[in-house]
């Protein structure tokens, strides 16, 4: 391996874009500067913020918590609280919860654990069971993503958060970009921006401080700071997710043609910026059932709850009525409305 381009000590990382090499200390400095630059460039944070860091307990989210906690010590107006959404996945979530609890105790960080059970009325394992029993065509990750966003937004509001920071890195973002192309979900592509502001519609502003950070960079940062979990546990539902195949394909492409990842990110940025200039404000409405922000009269989480039989009978009647009044909702509901 080369020597550090700054101090000449043995390097541990070489930036694939400009071939600059970094030793341990200069890598940490490079990484934190990159995150700070992203925060500044996309105006992610103001002087006074209560930052809710969405933590899964995995290496990326603990690395994000670590950076923001470190930065907050120099910013008196910033307060950082970690929130972990426990979906209720047996044999998986317990381990990552331990990682957060250990990190928080060691670094004196406030944290809260909220669950699907508490906010939705069923764990993900129960939801998957119910969905299968009802013949619903959705994959576990579809419920998981929708409900996790929903629970996080509600919990963050309850805690008085002003902004939600998630650990989506460059790799995550471009994987989602390709997944949305594959499934012809063009609208979702436009949401893959570094900042999603929608205070008007009830969503707390969401930011991705790792937007320009490669997965291997955040992993290395976690490793060098002793944040990485000793054993990697994979979610049992991961095998159903096309993301993992796409991830493998992009990594193979990057190995053969370095720069592909940044190329995909830049294409995404061009696309989303173009769209933003076309319609500056993305008008949102509020779900008529739960009051959470939604692009339709009933939000995706409430439609899933309806299909899974997790709504009250009054809610179910109201949703049936709303589906009748708004035929566009039929597109999102698999079951016949009478069931
Ligand atoms: Fe949720 Fe799917 Fe991730 Fe498992 S793999 S935590 S089900 S999104
Ligand atoms: Zn709703």
Residue 95 — φ and ψ, nearest 5°? -65, -45
Query: Which residues line ion ligand 2, judged by CB < 5 Å?
Result: 287, 289-290, 292, 299, 302
C-alpha 88 – ligand 1 centre gap (Å): 11
Residue 286 — φ and ψ, nearest 5°? -115, 140
Kindly give the number of the ligand 1 atom that is closest to the alpha carbon of 144: 1
C-alpha 157 – ligand 1 centre gap (Å): 23
Lowest mean pLDDT among 28-42, 126-140, 319-333: 319-333
C-alpha 140 – ligand 1 centre gap (Å): 7
* pLDDT tens string 183-237: 888 888 988 999 988 655 678 999 999 999 999 999 999 999 998 766 667 888 9
Q: Is the CB of 145 under 6 A from ligand 1?
A: yes
What contacts 24+ positions apart, CB below 8 Å, involve 221-226?
221/27, 221/28, 221/31, 221/63, 221/66, 221/67, 222/59, 222/60, 222/62, 222/63, 222/66, 223/59, 224/12, 224/24, 224/27, 224/28, 225/28, 225/63, 225/66
Query: What's the pLDDT score for residue 117?
Result: 96
Q: Are 186 and 226 spatial neighbours (Cβ–Cβ below 8 Å)?
A: no
C-alpha 290 – ligand 2 centre gap (Å): 4
C-alpha 171 – ligand 1 centre gap (Å): 16
Pocket test for ligand 1, best of 54, 58, 86, 87 (most atoms within 8 A of CB): 87
Residue 277 has pLDDT above 60, yes or no: no
State the pairing for strand pair 110-115/49-54: unpaired
Q: Could you tell me which of 39, 132, 145 has the C-alpha nearest to residue 85?
A: 145
Query: What's the pLDDT score for residue 13?
Result: 95
pTM exceeds 0.85: yes
Most confident of 228-232, 325-329, 334-338: 325-329
Query: What's the pLDDT score for residue 210?
Result: 98
Q: Are 70 and 182 spatial neighbours (Cβ–Cβ below 8 Å)?
A: no
- For residue 142, which ligand has an atom nearest its CA? 1
CA distance 258 to 69: 32
Higher pLDDT, residue 210 or 292 = 210
Q: If you average pLDDT over residues 99-108, what whole number do you get?
A: 92
- For residue 332, which ligand has an atom nearest its CA? 2
- For residue 120, which ligand has an atom nearest its CA? 2
Q: If you average pLDDT over residues 37-49, what whole number do you get?
A: 95
85 bridge partner residues: 114
Q: If you average pLDDT over residues 286-315, what whole number do you get?
A: 92
CA distance 152 to 118: 12
- Average pLDDT value over all residues in the chain: 90
Residue 15 has pLDDT above 80, yes or no: yes
Q: Is the CB of 235 under 6 A from ligand 1?
A: yes
Mark 288-323 as b/e (b = at least 16 C-beta within 10 Å). bbbebbbebbbbbbbbbbbbbebbeeebbebbeebb
Q: Is the CB of 238 under 6 A from ligand 1?
A: yes
CA distance 50 to 56: 19
The residue whose C-alpha atom lies closest to atom 2 belonging to ligand 1 is 141
Query: What's the pLDDT score for residue 191?
Result: 86
Q: If you average pLDDT over residues 86-112, what whole number do you get?
A: 91
State the pairing for strand pair 78-86/110-115: parallel
How does residue 16 score in pLDDT terms, banded at 50, 70 and 90? confident
Residue 7 has pLDDT above 80, yes or no: yes
Query: What's the pLDDT score for residue 293?
Result: 83
Query: What's the pLDDT score for residue 84?
Result: 96
Residue 179 has pLDDT above 90, yes or no: yes
C-alpha 92 – ligand 1 centre gap (Å): 10
């Amino acid at each position: 391996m080369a020597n550090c381009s700054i101090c000449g000590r043995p390097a541990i990382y070489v930036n694939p874009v400009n071939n600059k090499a970094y030793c341990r200390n200069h890598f940490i400095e490079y990484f934190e500067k990159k995150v700070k630059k992203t925060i500044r460039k996309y105006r992610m944070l103001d002087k006074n913020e209560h930052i809710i860091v969405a933590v899964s307990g995995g290496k990326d989210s603990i690395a994000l918590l670590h950076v923001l906690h470190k930065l907050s010590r120099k910013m008196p107006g910033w307060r950082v609280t970690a929130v972990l959404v426990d979906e209720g996945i047996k044999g998986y979530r317990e381990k990552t919860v331990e990682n957060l609890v250990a990190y928080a105790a060691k670094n004196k960080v406030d944290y809260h654990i909220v669950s699907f059970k508490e906010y939705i009325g069923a764990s993900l394992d129960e939801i998957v069971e119910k969905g299968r029993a009802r013949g619903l065509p959705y994959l576990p990750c579809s419920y998981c993503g929708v409900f996790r966003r929903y629970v996080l937004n509600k919990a963050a509001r309850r805690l008085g958060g002003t902004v939600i920071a998630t650990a989506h890195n460059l790799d995550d973002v471009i994987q989602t970009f390709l997944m949305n192309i594959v499934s012809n979900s063009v609208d979702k592509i436009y949401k893959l921006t570094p900042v999603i502001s929608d205070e008007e519609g009830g969503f707390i502003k969401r930011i991705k401080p790792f937007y320009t950070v490669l997965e291997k960079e955040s992993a290395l940062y976690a490793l060098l700071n002793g944040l990485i979990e000793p054993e990697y546990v994979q979610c049992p539902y991961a095998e159903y997710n096309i993301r993992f195949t796409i991830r493998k394909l992009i990594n193979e492409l990057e190995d053969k043609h370095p720069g592909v990842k940044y190329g995909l990110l830049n294409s995404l940025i061009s696309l989303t910026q173009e769209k933003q200039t076309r319609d500056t404000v993305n008008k949102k409405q509020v779900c008529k059932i739960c009051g959470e922000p939604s692009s339709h009269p009933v939000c995706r989480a409430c439609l899933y709850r309806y299909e899974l039989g997790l709504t009250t009978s009054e809610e179910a009647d109201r949703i049936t009525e709303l589906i009748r009044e708004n035929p566009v909702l039929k597109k999102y509901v698999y079951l016949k409305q009478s069931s």
